[in-house]
Structure 1
Amino acid sequence: FSTSAPELFTSLVAAFKGKNEIVVSNVIGSNIINMLLALPLAGFFLNIKADFKRLKLSFMFLFLLMFLLLLLSFDFRSYSFFVTPYNRFSSLIILILFLSYLLLFYKEEKAHANLENSFQEGASNLNRGLNFIFFSLLSFIISMYFLYLGSKLLVDGALYIANNVFNVSEKLIGIMVVAFGTSVPELVVSLFAIIRKEADIAFGNIIGSNIFNIGFILASSSFFRPILLQDIYLLDFSIMVFITLVLFLVVKFKGVFSRSISLIFLLLYLLYNLMLFNFY
């Protein structure tokens, strides 16, 4: 989830500015980039073996979160999706589902590995002294400040480009510029996975990031200010669901994210960007 920190700060900054399109574009765009660019980059150089039993829970909650987004946006008077805005009530429901996932994920991982030793090691590390705690807190505060500053610059810069340079929709800039910028950590993790030949890290990072983007970032942003997932995002949302489904089927029936599959995903990413230029 730590690689999604830029998405979190950027979405919160955009939400407080009342820039609904930037928030939604950032979440949906980041999820698409994670699956069509970050993961295939690692898979192109490494055959990523995926353990379906370990990923089954994460995929299940990812599909549940996407279904919940549809359900909460449904308007029963017009029988249309993406009409009802996400408010505090909606965000609380999504956050409860997200917290439920964290609890079940922890229990499942504890069944696979003895986590008590790792907790004991972590506790012993915290006992190094006050200096360690002080510098850890200081570095955390400084990091949060620069994340906020960078997120503000990214949002302001994206809005300026959209309105004053190219005169395009904020949605297009949000998906192509903001979402790509906030997805850099996932891309870096994929590159490190290639260098260290630890392909499983890339897969877990992508799925976890996508869950966090919907389950926490979109929910926390709509908690402070209502966010409307407009019908202009229907195509992008459908693509996100479709790619997630394809990824699920690959993991379930093939078990390996191979070079050929990675190449197909990378080509789909190029096609998606061409579609954005033509439609928006």
Structure 2
Amino acid sequence: MIAYAEFSTLMLVLLLVVGLAALCFGGDWLARGAASLALLWKINPVVVGLTIVAIATSMPELITALMATRQGSDSLALGNIIGSNLGNIGLILGIAAIIAPVKIQWRLIRQEVPILFVATLLFTLLCLTGYLFNGRLGRIEGAVLLVGAVAYLVFLVIQARKARDDIQKEFEEETGEPVKSIWGCLGFIVLGGFALWLGAELLIGSSVELAVRMHISEALIGLTVVAIGTSLPELAASVAAALRGQSDIVTGNIVGSNIFNMLLVGGGVSTLFPIRIDGQLFLLEYPAMILITVLLWLAFYTGRTVTRREGVCFVLLYVIILTVSGMTQ
């Protein structure tokens, strides 16, 4: 066990940065190794792209939330989930739209964004119910969320059969050149898993100690530093896709990531370790997550394009939410 209290503040910041980097690289290595291994085993590339890769790219949030909850930092875990969803829309989509207006397919507007909205309401309702009942997001609520995650994965695979070529192209963009050997795949998986564990350990330990020294709440650390850090892979991928004019990858990453954050990460963590809920989050953060999801739907629906002006509004809204959250935590 690392004695973080004995480190200087500068060293804690350095460990935090190293932890974030390890999470980013670990998630990428795990996704590449798992996807390549599945392809070597002749699993359908569509299934690989929509299940294995989607789950693997959610591993930074999942491992971080698991370790945070196990160590008693429940507010940090919930803050990570909510903060990642706020950041994916407000920060990542906003920046991508400022770089180049993001065009939206009707499929997202008709199907996946409504699913995101329902998932957001379900996650919020289950958190509120758990809080009123015993102050926790418990195993029953977690199981409901996990069932939702499985249902969403099945839905994705069924829908993918109608657009196989598009999904295959997006899969190649996400994962790059597959690893050709089984040992190479296993190496990426093991290395990625170790990097995720190390990154989560360093990130949680250093951020919790910094929160104590700076007299700020763990929830705020989760909403900001941890959430942004675990979303860095999505940010990098979305910016790169925006520069190439690949709107589908930008919007698909954001919508899919938010759904998995709540259903898979929230459900998986609370099923194993019931999460204590900070009731103060219901005053701003949960309503803000619902609001920004509704605004995402409206932005997608109006003109089927997220304009640069709307991108600026999303970024400003994200900054305002975090500022007010910082003042009230």
TM range, smaller chain? 0.7 to 0.9
Partner of 2:27: none
Taking the aligned partners of 1:232 and 1:111, their CA distance within structure 2 comes to 44
Decide whether the 8 Å contact of 1:4 with 1:183 is kept in 2: no
> 1:255 corresponds to which letter in structure 2?
R
The change in CA–CA distance for 1:18 and 1:261 in structure 2 (over 3 A counts) is same
Cα shift at 1:64: 2.2
Partner of 1:188: 236
> 2:278 corresponds to which letter in structure 1?
Q
Decide whether the 8 Å contact of 1:73 with 1:229 is kept in 2: yes
Which residues of structure 1 form unaligned runs of 5+?
none
- Aligned with 1:246: secondary structure? helix
> 2:87 corresponds to which letter in structure 1?
I
Which of 1 and 2 has higher RCO (CA within 8 Å, sep 6+)? Answer: 1
| Pairs aligned (count) | 268
Decide whether the 8 Å contact of 1:82 with 1:228 is kept in 2: no
Q: Say which of 27, 36, 42 aligns to 2:90.
A: 36
- Aligned with 1:14: secondary structure? helix
Decide whether the 8 Å contact of 2:99 with 2:308 is kept in 1: yes
* Runs of 4+ with deviation above 4 angstroms: 80-84, 114-118, 125-128
Q: Say which of 135, 144, 149 aligns to 1:93.
A: 144
Pairwise mapping of residues 123-162 of structure 1 onto structure 2 (< 5 A)? Answer: 132-162=181-211
TM-score (norm 1): 0.88
Taking the aligned partners of 1:262 and 1:126, their CA distance within structure 2 comes to 34
- Aligned with 1:111: secondary structure? coil
Decide whether the 8 Å contact of 2:100 with 2:243 is kept in 1: no
Partner of 1:103: 154
Cα shift at 1:203: 1.0
TM-score (norm 2): 0.75
Cα shift at 1:214: 0.3
Partner of 2:222: 174
Decide whether the 8 Å contact of 1:84 with 1:228 is kept in 2: yes
The change in CA–CA distance for 1:74 and 1:199 in structure 2 (over 3 A counts) is closer
How big is each residue's C-alpha offset from its partner over 1:214-252, in whole Å with a ceiling of 9 and x where there is no partner?
010111111111113332111101001100011111112
- Aligned with 2:216: secondary structure? coil
Partner of 1:219: 267
Cα shift at 1:73: 3.5
Decide whether the 8 Å contact of 1:50 with 1:251 is kept in 2: yes
Which residues of structure 2 form unaligned runs of 5+?
1-53
Partner of 1:229: 277
* RMSD (Å), alpha carbons: 2.5
Partner of 1:251: 300
Decide whether the 8 Å contact of 2:98 with 2:311 is kept in 1: yes
Taking the aligned partners of 2:220 and 2:293, their CA distance within structure 1 comes to 21
Taking the aligned partners of 2:223 and 2:215, their CA distance within structure 1 comes to 15
Cα shift at 1:87: 1.8
